[in-house]
Amino acid sequence: MFKLDQGKTKLEFWFQGYEAPEHRYNGDDDSWAGFHAVVTTELFSFESHGSDVESCAIDSFEKLLNDFLNGKMEENRIFSPIEEGFEIHFYPKGKFYGQIYDSKNNLIDKKEVELSVYIPEEEWFSPASVKFVLDEDEVKQLHEYIKHIISNEI
């Protein structure tokens, strides 16, 4: 489980039932993992557990995290699985790169990731979400969690 505590906002985020490529019965389309999240803020909390993510999407997610952390990502990217329980925006130079300068007039780049967890409604997910901004250390923790999922098929 990936846990994030940002003071008044907390997240628990996990996948269940991931299958490695060699164990997928009928290719990528038939291999799904459950997506679960618990979000707690000072105003409300919710559980999101009615969504699935393709196992191959988790593979793609791991590659994006790896590229981001190892400086192989040059442009902003979005990871949005087919079933919309969450979405992740990657900013390899920072969300506001090109707009913020230091005292020597150099552009400031600060890697960050924005993770949005959508609030479930009765039938599906609402367009509203709770957003978490992850610094590089938190992205490393998320990457370690995803690598653990892939290597252990839990």
What integer pLDDT is reported at residue 28 of this predicted model? 60
pLDDT recorded at residue 110 = 77
Q: Tell me the pTM.
A: 0.84
Q: What is the pLDDT of residue 100?
A: 66
Kindly list the domain boundaries of the chain, sorted by start residue: 2-152
The pLDDT, as a whole number, for residue 25 is 73
Report the top-level CATH class of 2-152: mainly beta
pLDDT for 132? 92
Per-residue model confidence (pLDDT) at position 99 = 62
Query: d(Cα 42, Cα 114) in Å, to the nearest integer?
Result: 20
Tokens for 100, please give them: 């913020």
- pLDDT at position 21: 85
- CA distance readout (Å), 7 to 10, 14, 36: 7, 20, 21
Q: List, as one string, the DSSP characters of the chain.
A: -EEEEETTEEEEEEEE----GGG-BTBGGG-EEEEEEEEE-SS-EEEEEEEEEEHHHHHHHHHHHHHHHTT---S-EEE--SS-SEEEEEETT-TTTTT-B-TTSPBP---EEEEEEEEE-SSSEEEEEEEEEE-HHHHHHHHHHHHHHHHHT-
Question: Mean pLDDT for each 10-residue chunk of the chain (154 residues)?
Answer: 93 90 73 89 82 87 96 92 82 70 73 85 68 92 95 72
98/105 Cα distance (integer angstroms):
11
120 φ/ψ angles, rounded to the nearest 5 degrees: -75, 145
